[in-house]
Structure 1
Amino acid sequence: MPHIVVLYTANLDDATPTTGASADIGRLCRSLADALLTVRDEAGAQVFPTGGVRVLAYPAAHFAVADGSVADAGFVYITLRMARGRSAAVQQATGAALQAATAAHFGPLLAERRFGLTLQIDEGPEVFDAKLGNLHPLFARP
């Protein structure tokens, strides 16, 4: 442990018409794994064993996002499952490290494409829940 699973709409693999950018999920997997390896506990020790870090990604070939009015809307769901016993400070530091890596990775794509993103850490009860995206304002009612 820890294990990260990335579920995402397959349309994010498509190149954007403006710059040809795509989600590059393989690079995201590496970035998330590297972020986990930077997390340290209160004593400065590495929290997650290098050999235990796993990141897997799965595109969803079939999906529906929001009301369908944004044809190329997408979604990414990232969940980390980690073993119990880590302090609240370590849990939050882990979430912050993953959120920073995710925001850095998807920042340029958010400028060109509409999608939502959820990042969640599970250790029994949910311990971190971050959302990043630009879909909700499209559907806000006046």
Structure 2
Amino acid sequence: MPHLVILYTPDLDRPVAQGGSDMGALCRALAAAMRQQVDEAGKPVFPTGGIRVLAYPAAHHAVADDSDAAPAGGTPPGYGFVYLNLRMGRGRSAATHQAVGQALSAVAKAHFAPLLAARPIGVTLQIDEGLEVFDAKHSSLHPLFHKPAQG
């Protein structure tokens, strides 16, 4: 944990010149922003080995009034939507939640700025901190980022 899952309308997988977006670049930019976050004590908010950013196009979708569902002439649909959901473990302060949310929102807003200016698109970011009823982790990633202290 933390896991940032992005769900989006599949029209965003089109080339940028056709009204799409480079979702891989967005994932990398969001992961970089997550690595940069520090709490009030200056400690990293997220363990590097736990950061996951995953993006999935929706196999089926309807957005708003669905008036663009079958556009004429094969043009890309006019309505796009992106939902970003960050799920993190409990224990971080409200100030940290706000700082992380603002940082991730800024990355998403900058990434989608050209699309927001050119066509109807919605972008939603939510952060969830949950009460886990079961939590099992098996990973060989974390040791890669825990280097012994130099003496």
Q: TM-score, normalised by structure 1?
A: 0.81
Q: Which runs of 5+ in 2 are unaligned?
A: 69-76, 132-151
Percent of aligned pairs with the same amino acid: 62
Task: Judge conservation of contact 2:39–2:45 (CA < 8 Å) in 1.
Answer: yes
Given candidates 44, 47, 60, the residue that maps to 1:46 is 44
Residues 10-40 of structure 1: CA deviation (Å, up to 9, x unaligned): 0111246xx4452111111001111111111
Match of 1:74 in 2: 80
Task: Judge conservation of contact 2:31–2:51 (CA < 8 Å) in 1.
Answer: yes
Match of 1:28 in 2: 26
Q: C-alpha distance in 2, partners of 1:57/1:110?
A: 19
Match of 2:63 in 1: 65
Q: C-alpha distance in 2, partners of 1:37/1:21?
A: 29
Aligned-pair Cα RMSD in Å: 1.5
Task: Judge conservation of contact 2:115–2:121 (CA < 8 Å) in 1.
Answer: no
Match of 2:102 in 1: 96
Q: Which runs of 4+ in 1 moved over 6 A?
A: none
Q: Which runs of 5+ in 1 are unaligned?
A: 126-142
Residues 26-71 of structure 1: CA deviation (Å, up to 9, x unaligned): 1110011111111111111111011110011110121111112244
User: How many pairs were matched up?
Assistant: 123
Whichever of the two has the greater Rg, that structure is 2
